[in-house]
Amino acid sequence: MLYYFKELILGNIFYFDEKKKELQKLVDTLSSPIIPVLDGIVVVPLIGQFDEMRPEKLIVKTLSRIEEKLTIYL
């Protein structure tokens, strides 16, 4: 019985860890949207608080999207 209890707990930990990762990915996506305005022009609104990781994620995401959208002005 102890084995099944242990498996249940480990399964729940894995499940909630995966859900946490999914939610963090969603938060990252929504926290720094890249909005196309016109051809070659995008806007990146800076909203909310910036922790240690957010600026780095913003730079990486913005630079990759600039290439995708053929952005001239940011």
- Summarize the confidence of residues 52-72 as an average pLDDT: 82
Alpha-carbon gap, residue 64 to 74, rounded angstroms: 13
Per-residue pLDDT, 18: 94
Which tokens belong to 25? 């990915």
Strand segments, DSSP code E, in the chain are 35-38, 41-43
pLDDT tens digit sequence for 9-43: 888 899 999 999 999 888 877 777 888 888 888 88
Neighbours of 34 (CB within 10 A): 19
pLDDT score for 17: 92
Contact 61, 74 (CB under 8 A): no
**In the chain, what percentage of residues exceed pLDDT 90?**
15
